Chain A
């Protein structure tokens, strides 16, 4: 009996090594991507026409002392690469992202103050995408018939609605027209927050949940048609068990991937929704800073967004490796 117990355990650890190796590879890629992204974000500043001081000051006229302070802070007298590593070092070691010229405070504190709203919004939208998007997709894929056709039509339209249009429609209908939800701002406490963030989260989630629903539907249909499902049918496995053990389990692999990638891309789109609903999050800070050409804030927020995007994408790959036993180290890269 011990042999029976020990051997499988040994085997499971073999698979665990495979997953571990895959995760390690993805972590290396994660660091490489973040490194490159930070380089792009930093380097963009120096692509601008004119000298760096005018870009950094947003073409404002500054006193000589202020110019000197800027040159000092951004090490403008050092070579480019030295500047980059200085900046990276400040960012990583001290959390120092420079000073905002419009808010007149540390970029890191601007980010810290606004991060909460954005992450709440993205989390809420992600929840809607998973529950409603996957739910509709399952219903559509397993049911067929009129249900399927209606869901397909609705999701086809939703997939084409940009979040800012969705935000406008929701605002007009449910906040201004019906008055069910507040038009702007964030609320107090959990209930207040949920109440205030519902419309923005739905606007942010709408197109993504449509895409997720369609992918789920296709995945379910594909799995239903697979030969191994035919085998299970031929063995007399009851329908609920068949769907749960073979169709849903296998469809969860592509669905998880798409859900993850979709959620990762929400960070970029949060800017638009925050602007419409007057939420003071990172996204609206990014847009305001871009309009005011407050480069330090744009760099800082872009860095946070890219990091979130890349981290979520890495998590998706790890989830994939865990869900699909066929994944061996490196087998997915090509």
Chain B
């Protein structure tokens, strides 16, 4: 693997909930090479968005972190002032709901060129030209007209493409995409994903792609990390995750996904309810819902272990390996 662009090591995050510190991320480790795409998959509350926020330095006020987030030789957690702004220029974010993330009272052109003009000193005319060109890159032909419009005049899919084009203007090295297609309808979803994938490959950006959709992550990303209760329980090559899962939770995710209709809640088949990190019991957080749990699973948190080129947090990973693969195969 190439030199990692981003390296997160045993990241722990506590946030304030009603004034009380609550752990939302527990020893999250991941790394992302140049031009590589990593999927981060989990249910809501599993901590996948919080991971992106920690990387982007957008944690809620009062949050405390430990561990390291390494980018370009610095620990992101300690960046300040100009260095922090430079870092933010290198890292771009695309969120789930473009409508909420674009200022509704400013024109599209203003939104797109804001960073170029305030940070890079590009003049208005040049900035507008580049914005229109960026819009063309994401398949929006009448860019000049769009620049004069307001966000509410654009559809959600169009606006998300505008956001993506905007992020590309500053030529970021790392793109964090937090469920960028969830709020869009199915056909638009496919278009937006195709654009993201194409741009990543063309420009050699690293992509951290956050989704609750295991298949979607597999389609776009080289590797996928599965999160549960604030921990990464398994990180593997995306293809292997489907055929040969190492963690029972991954296997459950694979079998729980409906074979034909994707709109159905795919996690309904896993017994019990998903928990957040601070609600997790002692031992393996998935143990109460796990069909393979033994007494030892309830005793202590499983450490992350290397198995077959991937990382897994399950004390029975080795003995279950074949059986989980059979379960998955039987489902398909």
Question: Does A8 touch B at the CB level, under 8 Å?
Answer: yes
Bound CA–CA A61/B320 (angstroms): 108
Q: Which residues of A contact B147 (CB under 8 A)?
A: 8
Q: Which of B118, B150, B170 contacts A241 (CB under 8 A)?
A: B118
Question: Does B86 touch A at the CB level, under 8 Å?
Answer: yes
Q: Which residues of B contact A241 (CB under 8 A)?
A: 118
Bound CA–CA A326/B153 (angstroms): 9
Q: Which residues of B contact A312 (CB under 8 A)?
A: none
Q: Which of B87, B101, B145, B170 contacts A227 (CB under 8 A)?
A: B101
Bound CA–CA A235/B170 (angstroms): 9
Nearest residue (CB) in B for A253 is B105
Known interface pairs A228-B103, A231-B101. Does A11 touch B114 (Cβ–Cβ under 8 Å)?
Answer: no
Bound CA–CA A210/B100 (angstroms): 31
Nearest residue (CB) in A for B115 is A235
Binds B, one of A196-204, A213-221, A244-252: A244-252
Decide: A234 and B106 in contact? CB cutoff 8 A. no
Question: Does A3 touch B at the CB level, under 8 Å?
Answer: yes
Give residues 74-90 of B contacting A (CB, 8 Å).
Answer: 84-89
Q: Which residues of B contact A246 (CB under 8 A)?
A: 103, 106
Beta-carbon contacts of B95-133 to A below 8 Å, as 1s and 0s?
Answer: 101001111111000000011001100000000000000
Bound CA–CA A227/B103 (angstroms): 9
Decide: B103 and A8 in contact? CB cutoff 8 A. no
Known interface pairs A7-B145, A8-B148, A228-B100. Does A234 touch B118 (Cβ–Cβ under 8 Å)?
Answer: no
Q: Which residues of B contact A323 (CB under 8 A)?
A: 105
Known interface pairs A8-B144, A237-B118, A323-B105. Does A231 touch B150 (Cβ–Cβ under 8 Å)?
Answer: no
Decide: A237 and B115 in contact? CB cutoff 8 A. yes
Beta-carbon contacts of A206-230 to B below 8 Å, as 1s and 0s?
Answer: 0000000000000000000011101
Give residues 1-51 of A contacting B (CB, 8 Å).
Answer: 3-4, 7-8, 11-12, 15
Tell me if A's interface is mostly helix, strand, loop or mixed: helix
Q: Which residues of B contact A233 (CB under 8 A)?
A: 58, 88
Q: Which of A7, A8, A236 contacts B86 (CB under 8 A)?
A: A236
Bound CA–CA A228/B97 (angstroms): 10
Decide: B88 and A228 in contact? CB cutoff 8 A. no
Q: Which residues of A contact B203 (CB under 8 A)?
A: none
- Shortest CB-to-CB span from A5 to chain B, Å, is 9
Q: Which residues of A contact B114 (CB under 8 A)?
A: 232, 235, 237, 245
Decide: A326 and B93 in contact? CB cutoff 8 A. no
Beta-carbon contacts of B25-43 to A below 8 Å, as 1s and 0s?
Answer: 0000000000000000000
Nearest residue (CB) in A for B166 is A235
Decide: B95 and A227 in contact? CB cutoff 8 A. yes
- Shortest CB-to-CB span from B161 to chain A, Å, is 15
Give residues 149-182 of A contacting B (CB, 8 Å).
Answer: none
Nearest residue (CB) in B for A7 is B145
- Shortest CB-to-CB span from A271 to chain B, Å, is 38
Bound CA–CA A323/B147 (angstroms): 19
Question: Does A325 touch B at the CB level, under 8 Å?
Answer: yes
Q: Which residues of A contact B101 (CB under 8 A)?
A: 227-228, 230-231
- Shortest CB-to-CB span from A225 to chain B, Å, is 10
Nearest residue (CB) in A for B93 is A234
Question: Does B149 touch A at the CB level, under 8 Å?
Answer: yes
Q: Which of A227, A236, A253, A323 has the most CB of B within 10 A?
A: A236
- Shortest CB-to-CB span from A121 to chain B, Å, is 34
Known interface pairs A234-B56, A234-B88, A250-B105. Does A325 touch B150 (Cβ–Cβ under 8 Å)?
Answer: yes
Q: Which residues of A contact B152 (CB under 8 A)?
A: 325-326
Decide: A231 and B118 in contact? CB cutoff 8 A. no
Nearest residue (CB) in A for B91 is A234
Beta-carbon contacts of A243-277 to B below 8 Å, as 1s and 0s?
Answer: 00110011001000000000000000000000000
Q: Which residues of B contact A249 (CB under 8 A)?
A: 103, 105-106
Q: Which residues of A contact B91 (CB under 8 A)?
A: 234
Decide: A7 and B105 in contact? CB cutoff 8 A. no
Known interface pairs A236-B85, A236-B88. Does A326 touch B103 (Cβ–Cβ under 8 Å)?
Answer: no
Decide: A245 and B148 in contact? CB cutoff 8 A. no
Decide: A245 and B106 in contact? CB cutoff 8 A. yes
Q: Which residues of A contact B103 (CB under 8 A)?
A: 228, 232, 245-246, 249-250
Decide: B115 and A236 in contact? CB cutoff 8 A. yes
Q: Which residues of A contact B92 (CB under 8 A)?
A: 234-235
Question: Does A79 touch B at the CB level, under 8 Å?
Answer: no
Decide: A325 and B148 in contact? CB cutoff 8 A. no
Bound CA–CA A227/B88 (angstroms): 16
Decide: A231 and B95 in contact? CB cutoff 8 A. yes
- Shortest CB-to-CB span from B125 to chain A, Å, is 10
Q: Which residues of A contact B170 (CB under 8 A)?
A: 235
Nearest residue (CB) in B for A240 is B118
Decide: B97 and A231 in contact? CB cutoff 8 A. no
Q: Which residues of B contact A236 (CB under 8 A)?
A: 84-89, 115, 119
Nearest residue (CB) in B for A9 is B148
Question: Does A238 touch B at the CB level, under 8 Å?
Answer: yes
Q: Which residues of B contact A230 (CB under 8 A)?
A: 58, 101
Q: Provide a sorted-by-A list of 11 A–B residue pairs whose CB atoms are within 8 angstroms.
A: A3-B144, A8-B147, A15-B150, A227-B95, A228-B100, A228-B102, A234-B58, A236-B87, A245-B106, A250-B103, A250-B105
Q: Which A residues are closer than 8 A to B by beta carbons?
A: 3-4, 7-8, 11-12, 15, 226-228, 230-238, 241, 245-246, 249-250, 253, 323-326
Q: Which B residues are closer than 8 A to A by beta carbons?
A: 56, 58, 84-89, 91-93, 95, 97, 100-106, 114-115, 118-119, 144-145, 147-150, 152, 170
